[in-house]
């Protein structure tokens, strides 16, 4: 039960991988197709609005027709936006969803036929499906709350209507919306989240894999203070050759557990290759170097088989260059290979990506060297 609550908390706190999902669709040549489908859905809503406008079940009176016209115009703008313009940013996407939800609710409230108005609220499932895949659980929860409020108001109007006055039917409509918005869509989003986390994770150590690291580096590109630490186990091939791959896997798992135990809970830890690891955190130079040394010791204390690690540290205390995290990763890799050339079991700090100053913490002594 505790594990279940922990998983649900992780899902609830997930910030949504909007840009990652968009880039994934684009890399598989699916972004244009999804844009076309969403635009087609918007066009269908526009056609529905026109048909209901022409029907006796549609809006009556100047206010009702004005609101319905605005809702139809929103659907038309959505159609043009999705078909003719680039994919929106996360903030623009949420703003568009908000306008769509408001338009759907408003058009349902002004329908002359209360029965049709209540059933039309099911269009909120369509916008909810988009949120399920592209936005966070919190965004889906906000949409679910709005949808339930909408259908509850429509149910009250349905009961109060002299012609309908059907309490049982109103209750059934509310429960249909509950089943779709509160049960089905969150369950679908949770399953999608589990699959997404699995794609971004290393199956052996349960750390992030290289794809997961790239995603979190992309998210960190506007953090002013950022450090990247890379580690490579020294002469790990000899471990596999001497003890076999099952023991080598145990060493990798123990190393991953040791690294996680050393870093802060908010730090990102990844296995980027066979025996290569990376840590991303928001630390200054002194703290990053201290963490690099603690990581080196944690690897050296790995049980089962004695191993050591070459550690490279790169730090940036300012700037908002989108390419900065990847630059730091390359600098940390270069520093790590320098540590390996120095014999391993060493921490190398590249203080400045342009003119690196290398600081070594080697077993029981520290040496400062300047490189060109």
Which pLDDT band, with edges at 50, 70 and 90, does 361 fall under? Answer: very low
State the average pLDDT for the chain.
Answer: 85
pLDDT at site 323: 58
Residue 331 has pLDDT above 50, yes or no: yes
CATH of domain 210-370: 3.30.70.270
CA distance 307 to 275: 11
pLDDT at site 332: 93
Closest CA to 271 of 319, 360, 211: 211
Residue 68 has pLDDT above 80, yes or no: yes
Higher pLDDT, 321 or 41: 41
Q: Judge residue 187's burial from the number of C-beta atoms within 10 Å of its C-beta, 0-12 exposed, 13-18 middle, 19 or more buried.
A: exposed
Q: What is the CA radius of gyration of the chain?
A: 28
pLDDT at site 371: 31
Calculate mean pLDDT across residues 336-352. 88
Calculate mean pLDDT across residues 135-150. 94
- Residue 9 DSSP SS3: helix
Which pLDDT band, with edges at 50, 70 and 90, does 364 fall under? Answer: very low
CA distance 44 to 49: 9
Q: Is the dihedral of CA 259, 260, 261, 263 positive or negative?
A: positive
pLDDT at site 271: 96
pLDDT at site 1: 53
Calculate mean pLDDT across residues 169-198. 89
Which residues have C-beta within 8 Å of that of residue 354, sequence separation ≥ 6? none
Q: Are 282 and 225 in contact (CB under 8 A)?
A: yes
For the chain, helix (H) and strand (E) counts, in that order, are 15, 7
Structure tokens at 94: 């949420």
Residue 161 has pLDDT above 80, yes or no: no
Residue 369 has pLDDT above 70, yes or no: no
Separation of first and last alpha carbons in the chain:
56
Higher pLDDT, 6 or 31: 31
Q: Are 12 and 137 in contact (CB under 8 A)?
A: yes
CA distance 208 to 202: 6
Which pLDDT band, with edges at 50, 70 and 90, does 132 fall under? Answer: very high
pLDDT at site 356: 41
Outline which parts of the chain fall under CATH 3.30.70.270.
Answer: 210-370
Q: Are 45 and 80 in contact (CB under 8 A)?
A: no
Structure tokens at 337: 């290979």
Which pLDDT band, with edges at 50, 70 and 90, does 321 fall under? Answer: low
Which pLDDT band, with edges at 50, 70 and 90, does 306 fall under? Answer: confident
Residue 128 has pLDDT above 70, yes or no: yes
CA distance 15 to 23: 16
Structure tokens at 232: 């490579």
């Amino acid at each position: 039960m505790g594990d279940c609550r922990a998983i649900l908390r992780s899902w609830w706190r997930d910030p949504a991988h909007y840009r990652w999902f968009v880039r994934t669709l684009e890399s598989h040549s699916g972004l244009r197709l999804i844009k076309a489908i969403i635009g087609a859905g918007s066009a269908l809503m526009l056609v529905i609005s026109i048909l209901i406008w022409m029907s006796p079940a549609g809006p009556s009176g100047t206010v009702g027709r004005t609101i319905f016209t605005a809702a139809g115009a929103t659907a038309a703008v959505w159609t043009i936006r999705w078909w003719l313009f680039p994919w929106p940013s996360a903030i623009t996407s949420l703003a568009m969803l908000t306008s769509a939800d408001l338009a759907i609710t408003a058009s349902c409230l002004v329908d002359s036929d209360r029965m049709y108005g209540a059933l039309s609220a099911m269009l909120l499932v369509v916008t909810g499906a988009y949120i399920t895949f592209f936005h966070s659980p919190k965004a889906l929860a906000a949409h679910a709350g709005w949808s339930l409020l909408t259908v509850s108001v429509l149910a009250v109007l349905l009961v109060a209507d002299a012609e309908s006055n059907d309490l049982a039917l109103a209750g059934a409509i509310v429960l249909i919306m509950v089943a779709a918005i509160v049960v089905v869509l969150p369950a679908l989003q949770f399953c999608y989240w589990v699959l997404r986390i699995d794609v971004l994770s290393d199956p052996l150590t349960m750390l992030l894999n290289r794809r997961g690291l790239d995603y979190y580096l992309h998210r960190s590109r506007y953090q002013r203070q950022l450090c990247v630490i890379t580690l490579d186990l020294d002469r790990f091939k000899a471990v596999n050759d001497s003890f076999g791959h099952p023991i080598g896997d145990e060493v990798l798992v123990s190393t991953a557990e040791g690294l996680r135990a050393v870093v802060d809970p908010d730090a990102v830890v990844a296995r980027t290759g066979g025996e290569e690891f990376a840590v991303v955190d928001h630390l200054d130079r002194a703290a990053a170097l201290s963490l690099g040394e603690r990581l080196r010791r944690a690897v050296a204390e790995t049980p089962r088989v004695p191993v050591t690690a070459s550690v490279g540290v790169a730090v940036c205390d300012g700037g908002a260059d989108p390419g900065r995290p990847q630059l730091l990763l390359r600098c940390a890799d270069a520093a790590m290979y320098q540590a390996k050339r120095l014999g391993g079991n060493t921490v190398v700090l590249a203080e400045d990506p342009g003119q690196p100053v290398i600081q070594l913490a080697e077993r029981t002594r520290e040496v400062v060297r300047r490189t060109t």
